[in-house]
Structure 1
């Protein structure tokens, strides 16, 4: 994905690499000091050795959280099945009719499969959206909550505001934060705005 609001453009564009052995060596010095490791990105499930890497992290006694856009349900399913992850943050970018424009990809079906996998699993997870007022209308946001409810998602749905005045993958105007003044929660879903 190449989300317009991505504030990790260097990572998405392949700059600033650290090899796995360097990370593993660092983690060995933190055994007993850290509880867990978060694998993020870009998209961490795209790395061809992600499963082996997580196995090494788990063998050191760390819990593992992944941040994912849900574009790789096959790997997510393996991670769930093999009990290699302890928590997942699933990015819910937008509804199908705006997904391609916002993400520069056609991967909504894969996101949907990942959401279903998580709902059916016993892995603790959260669904979250980065909100930019030029990219997601209030009406669409209401429909996003309805979509989650229709998928039988229950729990907290976190919304983080786009960070104005930061370097992003695409040039965007500042986002209006007034949406957080309204209550979008339902009987099954609590919408929580993070600042």
Structure 2
């Protein structure tokens, strides 16, 4: 995906590398200081050795959290089946009509499949959306919350407002958070703002 608001453009573009040995050495030295590792990105499930690395981290006695856009449901399913993940944060980028515009991808179906996998498994997870007032409207947000409820998601739905104070994949004008927070617009009860 190439979401314009992505704050890790260098990772998405494949810049910067660290060896597995270096990662595992770092974690081994901090075995009694750290209790969990977050796999993030870009998209961590694209990595061909994500299951192996998760297994190595679990062997160190640490928990694993996956931050995913849901584009690789079969990888997510394998991580869950092999008990290699303790928590998942799933990004809900947009409804089908805006999905390609926001992500520059055709992966909405894969997102829905990943959501279905998470809803049907007994693993803690959350759904979150990065909001930009020019990309997602109030009505979109209400429809997204309804969609999650219809799919059987009962957890909190976290919103993260886009803040353009770091480099991102593309230039986006300033987003107006007040579009989503005003006295005339009432958010569904399960929606929580993250700072």
TM-score range with shorter-chain normalisation? over 0.9
Q: How many Å apart are 1:183 and its aligned residue?
A: 3.2
Report the counterpart of residue 183 of structure 1 in structure 2. 186
Report the counterpart of residue 122 of structure 1 in structure 2. 122
DSSP 3-state at the match of 1:155: coil
Report the counterpart of residue 145 of structure 1 in structure 2. 145
- Alignment of 1:194 onto 2:194: yes
Q: Give TM-score, length-normalised by structure 1.
A: 0.96
Distance 1:21 1:70 in 2: 27
Q: How many Å apart are 1:15 and its aligned residue?
A: 0.8
Note if contact 1:145-1:184 (Cα within 8 Å) is conserved in structure 2: no
Q: How many Å apart are 1:120 and its aligned residue?
A: 0.5
DSSP 3-state at the match of 1:34: coil
Per-residue CA deviation, residues 64-113 of structure 1 (Å, 9 max, x unaligned), is 00100000000000011111100000000000000001000000000000
DSSP 3-state at the match of 1:27: helix
Mind listing any 5+ residue stretches in structure 1 that lack a counterpart?
none
Report the counterpart of residue 82 of structure 1 in structure 2. 82
Distance 2:75 2:165 in 1: 35
Per-residue CA deviation, residues 36-64 of structure 1 (Å, 9 max, x unaligned), is 00000000000001101110010010000
DSSP 3-state at the match of 1:65: strand
Distance 1:149 1:183 in 2: 17
Report the counterpart of residue 93 of structure 2 in structure 1. 93
Q: Give TM-score, length-normalised by structure 2.
A: 0.96
C-alpha RMSD over aligned residues: 0.9
Q: How many Å apart are 1:21 and its aligned residue?
A: 1.2
Q: After superposition, where does 1:6-45 map in structure 2 within 5 Å?
A: 6-45=6-45
Distance 1:194 1:183 in 2: 17
Q: How many Å apart are 1:18 and its aligned residue?
A: 1.4
Q: How many Å apart are 1:30 and its aligned residue?
A: 0.6
Distance 2:131 2:94 in 1: 9
Distance 2:113 2:20 in 1: 29
Mind listing any 5+ residue stretches in structure 2 that lack a counterpart?
none
